[in-house]
Amino acid sequence: MVTLTIDGRTVEVPEGTTVLRAAEKAGIKIPTLCDHPHLQPFGGCRVCVVEVEGLRTLQPSCTLPVSQNMVVHTNTPKVLAARKFVLTLIFSDRNHFCPYCQVSGGDCELQNTALEMGMTHWDYQPAWKPYPVDASHPNLVIDHNRCILCRRCVRACG
């Protein structure tokens, strides 16, 4: 077992556990977009970054394995700024202005994450290009305009 501290809480988890899962065990919520509990960690979106004492750069908690006596901070100003920046890039890159989404039924992980981060707008001029909607598969439709490149669908199909 490995013991670490997350936001001042001591948590003990099996070796190989990620910081994200350790935080969940400690009752600490870290926002995620590309993570899914049934898929291999991917580390693509960077919304789940955390600060680890002794490490120079922010780390994606979904791919970072715990280590003995690690000290993690999930909510520092640096972490929050980085998450907002990541979300800003996502919102600026493709058209996620979709308040009437039929797919999410108003329960969109991206929109919810932005709201939880207190985002009401993003500072960059959108650079949305129209992408084709791929409905060529009998069971799947992918709207690339809404895609955040989390690769969940690709990993799930794999």
Interface with ligand FES (CB under 6 A): 32-35, 43-48, 60, 62
Nearer to ligand FES, 32 or 74 (CB): 32
Q: Are 22 and 12 in contact (CB under 8 A)?
A: no
CB of 111 to ligand FES, least distance (A): 16
Q: Ramachandran region of residue 105, left (φ > 0), alpha (ψ -120 to 50) or beta?
A: left
Nearer to ligand FES, 23 or 62 (CB): 62
> In 10 A of CB 87, how many CB atoms?
23
Q: Write the burial class of residue 9 (CB in 10 Å: 0-12 exposed, 13-18 middle, 19+ buried).
A: middle
Nearer to ligand FES, 52 or 139 (CB): 52
Nearer to ligand FES, 4 or 148 (CB): 148
What distance in Å separates the CA atoms of residue 115 and residue 118, rounded to the nearest whole number? Answer: 5
What distance in Å separates the CA atoms of residue 63 and residue 69, rounded to the nearest whole number? Answer: 18
Nearer to ligand FES, 62 or 110 (CB): 62
What distance in Å separates the CA atoms of residue 96 and residue 110, rounded to the nearest whole number? Answer: 9
Identity of the amino acid at 19 = V
